[in-house]
């Protein structure tokens, strides 16, 4: 089994760029019990995330901190400088997970992944990870990376269940980190989720998160800024859906991908 320290739930920080709000959100989340914080170079908030980590009274070694290298900096010539820039902005000596953000533009498995593994050898990165990779791209990554690839961060929620990819990742002992786990709020408009939420006296968001948490090796990273939403999200850890609930969600006929930029792989 992989030794990667990936908690069961994390905090996503995409679009959280307010100089006052972002550090406060990160600190509040950590003090509530979150132990995974996810950011990226292109989020333009690494400095704010680092400030929030320093504000919280949680030892650094207890936190799984993740960032992602943007696709313009994925050549072996650029990775070292780009990663050190992230460490400087975060004001940390290392990150626990360093992701290839998208397999696009300067990404080349034979060049990028050995360079990422080299950062792990230097101690700047604890684990190598990827994001938005299909099973086919994962096959190539596993062949070319000298270190284990411990996670694939992809969009996953009840309207995009990722059955094939999830099965592949579990078979290869790789975590699936689920971004947009609430389908950008669309889970609130799914009647089946509303029905399950009423049955358990919880919210549709909590239904979605509890469903993700019921899956093997899946870690959702919902975004939130208010203390109330942060608390509701982490409370999903204590919610158990029954087999009927899970089957109902697994059988939803509606499918919708929320994130599909022009540079995305061939899903």
Q: Are 130 and 99 in contact, with CB atoms under 8 Å apart? A: yes
Query: Among 35, 53, 79, which residue's Cα sits nearest to residue 221?
Result: 35
Q: Which of the residues 43, 99, 107, 179 is marked catalytic?
A: 43
Report the DSSP pairing between strands 11-12 and 36-38: parallel
Backbone angles phi, psi at 106, to 5 degrees: -80, 0
Structure tokens at 186: 């669309």
Backbone angles phi, psi at 131, to 5 degrees: -140, 140
Q: Are 176 and 217 in contact, with CB atoms under 8 Å apart? A: yes
3-state secondary structure of 142: helix
Bridge partner residues of 176 (DSSP): 152, 218
3-state secondary structure of 201: coil
Annotated active-site residue 179? The verdict is: no
Active-site residues, by number, are 43
């Amino acid at each position: 089994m992989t030794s990667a320290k990936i908690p069961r739930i994390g905090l996503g920080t995409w679009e959280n760029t307010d100089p006052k709000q972002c550090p406060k959100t990160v600190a509040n989340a950590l003090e509530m019990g979150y132990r995974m914080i996810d950011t990226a170079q292109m989020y333009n908030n690494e400095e704010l995330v680092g400030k929030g980590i320093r504000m919280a009274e949680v030892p650094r070694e207890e936190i799984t901190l993740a960032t992602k290298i943007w696709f313009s900096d994925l050549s072996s010539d650029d990775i070292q400088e780009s990663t050190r820039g992230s460490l400087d902005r975060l004001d940390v000596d290392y990150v626990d997970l360093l992701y290839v953000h998208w397999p696009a533009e300067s990404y080349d498995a034979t060049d990028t992944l050995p360079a990422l593994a080299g950062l792990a050898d230097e101690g700047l990165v604890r684990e190598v990870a990827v994001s938005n990779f299909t099973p086919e791209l994962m096959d190539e990554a596993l062949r070319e990376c000298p270190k284990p690839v411990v996670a694939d961060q992809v969009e996953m929620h009840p309207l995009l269940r990722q059955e094939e990819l999830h099965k592949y990742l579990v078979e290869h002992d790789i975590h699936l980190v689920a971004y947009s786990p609430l389908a950008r709020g669309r889970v609130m408009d799914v009647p089946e989720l509303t029905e399950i939420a009423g049955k358990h006296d919880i919210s549709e968001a909590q239904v979605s998160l509890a469903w993700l948490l019921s899956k093997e090796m899946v870690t959702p990273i919902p975004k939130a800024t208010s203390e109330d939403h942060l608390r509701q999200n982490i409370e999903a850890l204590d919610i158990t859906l029954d087999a009927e609930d899970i089957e109902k969600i697994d059988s939803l006929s509606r499918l919708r991908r929320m994130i599909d930029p022009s540079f995305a792989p061939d899903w």
